[in-house]
């Protein structure tokens, strides 16, 4: 892959007062995007492999792509401006008419759900990685606190 993008993954999803904080990154750097509760829950359910009784919007989009013979190649969080992140979904279609690559503008949160559901890679543009604040220490602290709380509740049982 080109050096202008860096592969990242979802490192954690934490509820906040106004939605959810989604921690994204790799071993070198972690950053946060804030999403609404519904998309944060969709990301968390996908990470946990939770099966829904009825398809949610992201499930429907995945089914539509499958029905059209389109495959999600990857997503790229390609820009950030004043705390708002932007993403691109790259789709590949091959049929009797030929091969086509389609690039769509999308919210990073929706893109992340689709990439996780389709088990496809998530990338961030190098300029995004270079711009965002490193939140690795905060993520480690939150995960440690959650583990301690989980251990405490398990001991009470």
User: CA-based angle 90:96:101, to the nearest 5?
Assistant: 15
Q: Structure pTM?
A: 0.86
Q: Identify the pLDDT of residue 1.
A: 45
Number of alpha helices (DSSP H) and beta strands (DSSP E) in the chain: 5, 7
Fold of 5-156: Bifunctional nuclease domain (3.10.690)
Residue 157: the pLDDT is 55
The rounded Cα 135 to chain-centroid distance in angstroms is: 16
Q: Which residues of the chain have pLDDT under 70?
A: 1-2, 153-157
Average model confidence (pLDDT) across the chain: 90
Q: Give the per-residue pLDDT at 53.
A: 83
Q: What are the extents of the domains in the chain?
A: 5-156
Phi/psi for 28 (5° steps) reads: -85, -35
Q: What is the pLDDT of residue 7?
A: 97
Three-state DSSP state, 100 = strand
């Amino acid at each position: 892959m080109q050096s202008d993008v860096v592969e990242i993954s979802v490192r954690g999803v934490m509820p906040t007062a106004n939605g959810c904080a989604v921690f994204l990154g790799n071993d070198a750097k972690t950053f946060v995007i804030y999403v609404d509760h519904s998309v944060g829950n969709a990301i968390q359910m996908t990470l946990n492999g939770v099966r829904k009784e009825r398809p949610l919007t992201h499930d429907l989009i995945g089914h539509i792509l499958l029905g059209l013979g389109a495959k999600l190649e990857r997503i790229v969080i390609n820009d950030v401006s004043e705390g708002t992140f932007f993403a691109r979904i790259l789709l590949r279609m091959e049929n009797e008419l030929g091969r086509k690559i389609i690039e769509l503008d999308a919210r990073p949160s929706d893109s992340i759900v689709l990439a996780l559901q389709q088990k496809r890679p998530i990338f961030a543009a190098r300029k995004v990685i270079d711009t965002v604040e490193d939140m690795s220490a905060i993520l480690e602290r939150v995960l440690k606190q959650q583990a301690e709380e989980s251990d405490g509740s398990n001991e009470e049982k």
